[in-house]
Structure 1
């Protein structure tokens, strides 16, 4: 969406912020179909460690990915306090387990800073930018990388 400020035009992005392992992340709000509470998943044999299993979402078999485990943090022990963000990645719909969803906010595209060069290649693939906001740092996540990422054991 474009918002006019005086005579100059700034491209704004609407993002949804969430927490994983005490860190803040965000994704484009248009990629999020819904947010729901934790529902126990049915394990899938021989699935990657980050895949908690599948749930039935109104007739759709939805794989649930533990984002913390997927990005190399300690695996989450899901509880009723956790949330599942149902997201669209290309033609695929998946559930992403997060600690909590905190807010929807808008930010000017020019306020998103590049991922620092000191970050690993894996981090640069996942995090497309960083937003300094009110004394905190929010990493902009590329959902396209979530299903294909491999994490070293």
Structure 2
């Protein structure tokens, strides 16, 4: 009779600091970490979100507008009893408003304890990116308003700008109660 193997926990071995902090990195051989990223497009640009922040991907549906909100707030939808604000990511990134069609999608993400929808052009795929594929975002004059990029990743022949959703809407976001 064999004894069951014990499964190491985070306390049993030294994990890379990024894995300890995010809890979202997967340990692989050779002490490298891999993060799963949902990639999507806005125009011709590729962006990515940590897959663990994504709750669902939905087709575009009409929204109920809210008064006195920033231009990137499209409105709200009722998602199984929860009022979820929908943000036009194209506007938040400094471009013109999206003219939604059946091809557009909404990525529902969790920011803290609130769900938010991000209107994007298309969802591309899921990438498993190693820590050596991640590069720091270079300093630019726009850093003060665009500090929501957490890294730039290279994958095959393209570059993906990784977005930290917690920093993406850290100001100017209306707080919507679920009882609304």
TM-score exceeds 0.5: yes
Give TM-score scaled by structure 1 length.
0.90
Higher-RCO chain (CA-CA 8 Å, sequence separation at least 6): 1
| Structure-2 residue corresponding to 1:2 | 27
> What whole-Å deviation, never above 9, does each CA across 1:72-111 have from its counterpart, x for those lacking one?
1111111111000000011111000000100011011121
In structure 1, what is the Cα distance between the partners aligned to 2:86 and 2:111? 13
Root mean square deviation, CA, Å: 1.3
Instruction: Verify: 1:74 aligned to 2:80, yes or no.
Output: no
In structure 2, what is the Cα distance between the partners aligned to 1:111 and 1:29? 17
What count of residue pairs does the alignment treat as equivalent? 146
Contact 2:66 2:76 in 1 (8 A): yes
Moved more, 29-38 or 137-146: 137-146
Q: Runs of 5+ in structure 1 lacking a partner?
A: none
Deviation at 1:149, TM superposition (A): 4.6
2:100 aligns to what SS in structure 1? coil
Taking a change above 3 Å as real, the CA distance of residues 149 and 20 of structure 1, as seen in their structure-2 partners, is farther
Structure 1 segments, 4+ long, off by >4 Å, are none
Give TM-score scaled by structure 2 length.
0.77
In structure 2, what is the Cα distance between the partners aligned to 1:33 and 1:88? 7
Taking a change above 3 Å as real, the CA distance of residues 146 and 134 of structure 1, as seen in their structure-2 partners, is same
Q: Runs of 5+ in structure 2 lacking a partner?
A: 1-25, 173-180
> What whole-Å deviation, never above 9, does each CA across 1:107-147 have from its counterpart, x for those lacking one?
11121001012362123x11111112222110010101222
| Structure-2 residue corresponding to 1:111 | 133
| Bigger Rg, which one | 2
Deviation at 1:52, TM superposition (A): 0.5
